[in-house]
Structure 1
């Protein structure tokens, strides 16, 4: 199987928002479709915390992407029409420079010597990719979950670089509940003795900490309604139970264990810690003298669609309403879509049936009625 991943060398030094700088850093990205002569059909997608840049399959890499059913020829993000770009977040371990990368100054992994990471740094690195492709203004910027916060930073830091925006299940700032959950996830990793202040290897790896962090995540990504519907109080068959005190007894426990096992060695623990904390730190009110609405009012775009789901406990619907109101107050024509999916925060990944018509419809209308450039 080939690799569709491409790399951009970031300017060196690359300054970080909270101090420090990176030397010799790069970000990984993938593209689909063709950039037109006017270079005005580009759509950038910014991801949640853990995905790679492989959003959907392509000739070089036919493996399914993390948003396989949403993007591709004839799909909602129609790559026959749009030039789609997906960037792996700075700080991740899926090809971009992050805590797991080698520090050119020492030849050793950065680990905890990596500079403090902010979502503004993620946004600036993504903007560098877009600029390197000769694109001065994106037709649309799509941000999902953590990527939605990075997208808000992108539009604030690079005025005039985005024509339209689709905000998916995100927030203008983390709420205390989301911070509390992420704080516990980070604590689970840090308390694993194999984490060892960030110095671990394959033989001594914080499997237990990462497993608990993932289980906490999966619990909050879905809704109580879905847990009830899928598992109720169904117990495991006797032969499936663990023969130890307080071992797994219910089906839901076994489900979480399976999820955790599949995730644990696929994402670097230090990268997880850095990106998780960056999500907590992001606050658009910093750009509006302490007011979320004033911060949002500084974003200049023509139109936006803001999508949320009523069962999302991490990024509740009320925060989507905040974003919609703020962008409207800034002069954008805004469509607000409140979906009733039982799948909670993960709905944008699994409830394609409802998300796809909303996202595809917005992009179709965008293509049908191009606005004059400013």
Structure 2
């Protein structure tokens, strides 16, 4: 599997060995990251971005790489996450195939790709690896940690396992635990990959590659990333022109089918199938309620108690009414739990029609909310520097 690592990407070596939560360890592992802006002399303006399953560390363009990033409209000079104010770091998650060590990386013990010899991956491992990057960059305390989708899970694990490393948090379309619907979807995605004969128990290469399985897995994902409302408004029941129709009598007939096929084909060779399996399962395993100080056996109450135990000053939690993959109730749960622990937690439900992926495309709605939170944070930081007695006010 060929890695697609953007120019401008930097690397931090993880401790060797790097212990994994569910057993096993990594040796010679690394994390990929990119950064924007300038770190203040006192280190007070650092913001960490934790991504969803598939993005790399290239969240926005830079002098080192002018190509648009996956969050280009949100991050940069004068944008909602203003790099004239903030020193922003985005890490590629552990277990990915975009620069950080994952199942597609070479195992130093064998000289061959890890494949399924990669240790079981957890969201907590991703959080620990991200925390190591922060510390290696000389940042003792983040102004804010921002997590999107899977990154919202990683951010909560980060806060739980590394108390004091961040003062504020923005959780966007995230979750404190995996719910049955999302587990079921990811299970089907994994099954589609594993049932492709070319997957071959994880032993594929560029010549014999589980393309059909990856296409199906990606299509399932894309269907859940958007809402039925958007699918209807965008495609309706429009059929393909006769010249574009599939010759198969049960082949492509509608515009929505063509869109899914084109989207999947662009993705399948740009993300390693084994990495897809590992990261999806890591999300399914995650439940912040496992860290409840006193387990009650009630999943929701244990999750709320675990959230209440996190050490934070302020938090912004954003969700979308049309999100079926990480439904709005999960963001409301995060805000409620944090508030129980005394955090100044703001919950913002948005009406975007674009479902789970709205944070990537509906910047008109998300941008002002994030900008306002970070502007307030910047103003509070400026006031604290002028009057140290205001710190934490």
Q: Secondary structure at the match of 2:143?
A: strand
Q: Secondary structure at the match of 1:194?
A: helix
1:183 alignment partner in structure 2:
187
Structure 1 Cα separation of the partners of residues 35 and 239 of structure 2: 45
**Between 265-274 and 237-246, the greater mean CA deviation after superposition:** 237-246
1:327 alignment partner in structure 2:
338
Structure 2 Cα separation of the partners of residues 315 and 209 of structure 1: 24
Q: Secondary structure at the match of 2:371?
A: helix
Structure 2 Cα separation of the partners of residues 244 and 53 of structure 1: 40
**Between 286-295 and 123-132, the greater mean CA deviation after superposition:** 286-295
Quote the offset at 1:53 in angstroms: 0.4
Q: Secondary structure at the match of 1:348?
A: helix
Structure 1 Cα separation of the partners of residues 249 and 283 of structure 2: 37
Indicate which of 171, 175, 197 corresponds to 1:171: 175
1:122 alignment partner in structure 2:
126
Structure 2 Cα separation of the partners of residues 118 and 56 of structure 1: 27
Structure 2 Cα separation of the partners of residues 173 and 222 of structure 1: 20
Quote the offset at 1:245 in angstroms: 2.2
Structure 1 Cα separation of the partners of residues 163 and 125 of structure 2: 16
Structure 1 Cα separation of the partners of residues 201 and 8 of structure 2: 34
**TM-score, structure 2 as length reference:** 0.94
Q: Secondary structure at the match of 1:308?
A: strand
Quote the offset at 1:101 in angstroms: 0.3
Correspondence list, 1:1-374, <5 A: 3-288=7-292, 289=295, 290=297, 291-370=302-381, 372=391
* Aligned partners of 1:300 and 1:331 also within 8 Å: no
Superimposed CA distance per residue, residues 266-310 of structure 1 (whole angstroms, 9 cap, x where no aligned partner): 000000000000010000010012511111111110000000000
Quote the offset at 1:324 in angstroms: 0.3
Structure 1 Cα separation of the partners of residues 377 and 81 of structure 2: 12
Superimposed CA distance per residue, residues 189-221 of structure 1 (whole angstroms, 9 cap, x where no aligned partner): 000000000000111000000000010011000
Q: Secondary structure at the match of 2:315?
A: strand
Structure 2 Cα separation of the partners of residues 346 and 360 of structure 1: 19
Unaligned runs of 5+ in 2: 385-390
Structure 2 Cα separation of the partners of residues 86 and 118 of structure 1: 19
Structure 2 Cα separation of the partners of residues 194 and 81 of structure 1: 49
* Aligned partners of 2:313 and 2:392 also within 8 Å: no
Superimposed CA distance per residue, residues 123-164 of structure 1 (whole angstroms, 9 cap, x where no aligned partner): 000000000111111000000000000000000000111110
Deviating runs (4+, > 3 A) in structure 1?
A: none
RMSD (Å), alpha carbons = 1.2
Quote the offset at 1:2 in angstroms: 7.9
Structure 1 Cα separation of the partners of residues 175 and 100 of structure 2: 24
Superimposed CA distance per residue, residues 11-59 of structure 1 (whole angstroms, 9 cap, x where no aligned partner): 0000000000000100000110000011010000000000000000000
Unaligned runs of 5+ in 1: none
Structure 2 Cα separation of the partners of residues 138 and 273 of structure 1: 31
Quote the offset at 1:60 in angstroms: 0.5
**TM-score, structure 1 as length reference:** 0.99
